[in-house]
Amino acid sequence: MTNALAENKKAIDFAAIRQDFPILHQEVHGQPLVYLDNAASTQKPNLVIDSIKHYYEHDHSNVHRGAHALSDRATAKFEHARENVQRFINAAKREEIIWTRGTTESINLVANSFGRASLTSGDEILVSAMEHHSNIVPWQMVCEQTGATLKVIPVNECGEIEFDQYVAMLNEKVKLISIGHVSNALGSINPVKQMIAEARKFDIKIMVDGAQAAPHFDIDVQNLDCDFYAFSGHKVFGPTGIGILYGKEQLLESMTPYQGGGEMIEVVSFDGTTYNELPYKFEAGTPNIAGAIGLSAAIDYLAQFDRNALQAYEDQLLAFATEQAKSVEELKLVGTAKEKTGVMSFLLQGAHPNDVGMLLDQQGVAVRTGHHCAMPIMKQFGIPGTIRASFAFYNNEDDVVRLFNALNKAKSFLL
C-alpha cells in the first residue's frame, strides 16, 4: 500500500467504512464483488437504509396539513432534511432548497420556469462539449421554443474547458450558462468559480450540474455565487428518486412553477390560482418523503468524516489506478485533465468496450461501458464510448488490483 494511503488510514478507518455498506459483501458470478460504477450510482450505508425502513415502519404519512401525530413526525423529518441539505451546500436559506426527483428534473425545472419565460430570439445559452445529455437536451428544447441559440464551450483533448475561448464567447447576448461541476464521463473538475466570476461581468445567470461533484467534495453555493445548483441523492450515497435544486431566493420568487397541483397552491378558484410561498410553489404533488429522509441520513453519514480526507483518499486511489493503467500497453486513457476526481475512463485498444465490460463482470468487477450519456464528447474524441471505472471512499487498492487482474485476463480472450 502507498504511504499516502496508509497515512490517511490513520485518520479514518477505511476498512470500517467499508463495513457500513452491506451490498459490497457479496459474490457475483462466484467472485467477491468489486463495485467500480460509482459515477452511475453510489451504494448506501446502513444509516440510510435504516432511516428509510424506520420511516415506513413508524412515521409514514403525507406531510403538511395532517391533524395527527404521524403527519407531524413525517413533516418534521421532511423539513429537517431540507435544512440538512441547506447546510450541506451552504445555501443562505431553507427556502432556496427545492425537492426534485434528481439533477435531470432540476435542470428541466430551470429550463422551463426560468428559460422559457426569460429567453427570446437572439439570446444565447452556453454549455460545454462534455456535458451529460441531461444538461444539453433541456436547453435544446428551450431554444426550439424561444428562438434562443445553444452554443458550445470547447473542450481540449485532455477533457479540459478551453478557458480563454470560453471568456471570448461571453457577451451581452449570453443569458444563461449551464455547466457541469465535474464531468461524469471524464472526471474533469471544471473551474466553475472562475467561470462564474467571468460571467458576472455580463450579468449572465449560471446553472451548475453538481451531480458528480457532491459525492466527492464540499459544495458552497454562496462562495461559488451560482444562481442555480443541482445534485441527485443516489450519487451521494442516498436513495434514488430524490434530488435538489438550489436557486437564489430572488430568482425563485420571480419564476412561475411548471407543474401544477397540490402543495404548490395557496388558493384555488375557477377565477385563478394563487401559488404557495417558497419552496413549496415548485413542489407539486405528494413528495418523495422517504427519499428526502434517506438523503438527509446520507448527509449525516458524510458529516461524521473529514471530507477533505475522504477526497484525498479517493484522489490517491485514482492516482494509483492511473499508474497501474500505464503498465498496460494496450490501454488508452480517455480524459487526462490535471484536475480530476473519481473517474478513470479508458479503452482497451482492439477490443470493444462492451466485450471488456462483460468479461470484467464475469470476474466480479462492476464497471460501466458506453457513451455515459455524453455522446457529443465521445464524437469529438472519435470513439463510440469508453470503459469507466469510478471510485468512492469505500473502494481500496485491492479493488484496483482486482480490476487490472481482470483486465489482463480479458486481454487474453480478446486480443
CA distance 298 to 237: 6
Which grid coordinates belong to 133? 445529455
What one-character DSSP code corresponds to residue 158?
A: T
Contact (CB, 8 A) for 214 and 244: no
Point out the catalytic residue in the list 143, 158, 226, 373: 373
How many beta carbons lie within 10 A of that of residue 380, not counting itself? 17
Whether 373 is a known active-site residue: answer yes
Print the SS3 string covering 365-413. Answer: EECEEECCCCHHHHHHHCCCCEEEEECCCCCCHHHHHHHHHHHHHHHHH
H-helix segments, 158-204: 163-169, 192-200
CA separation (Å) from 171 to 21, 252, 328?
A: 48, 24, 46
CA distance 176 to 161: 17
What b-and-e string marks burial along 242-273, b requiring 16 or more CB atoms within 10 Å of the CB? Answer: bbbbbbbeebbeebebbeeeebbbeeeeeeee
CA distance 368 to 213: 19
Query: Known catalytic residues?
Result: 373
